[in-house]
Amino acid sequence: MIHDITDRDFDQVVERSPIPVLVEFWKPGCRSCQALMRQLKQLEQEVTGKVLIVKMNVEENFQIPGELDIHSLPALALYREGRFERFIGGMGTKEEILKQLPVA
């Protein structure tokens, strides 16, 4: 299950994760966000224990999306060792996303 993350617990979750963290920035009513979430739910089953996938509602959280200067949704950000590494492209399918993840 992909858990929600907030501005308040973001640093704690990301910095304490022993594995890379993939964050989907989304908002309610965004059809592209919902489509991506379905792909991420399928992907999560394949990367469990290798990548932590979480989601952040940008209508309820402003700090982290603002720091990353996110203007279009959905957006996927990869964090490693508690630090932002890069945005992930390939919004279409789990296969496209998987190719860009650091999984062994």
Triad 57, 63, 68: Cα angle to 5°: 90
Q: Which two tokens stand for residue 78?
A: 């990869």
Alpha-helical regions (H) of the chain: 7-16, 31-47, 63-67, 94-98
Place of tokens 């999306």: 65
More confident position, 88 or 92: 88
pLDDT score, position 104: 53
pLDDT score, position 89: 75
What sign results for the dihedral spanned by CA atoms 55, 57, 61, 65? Answer: positive
For 30-87, the pLDDT digits (tens) are: 999 999 999 999 999 999 999 999 999 999 999 999 999 998 999 999 999 999 999 9
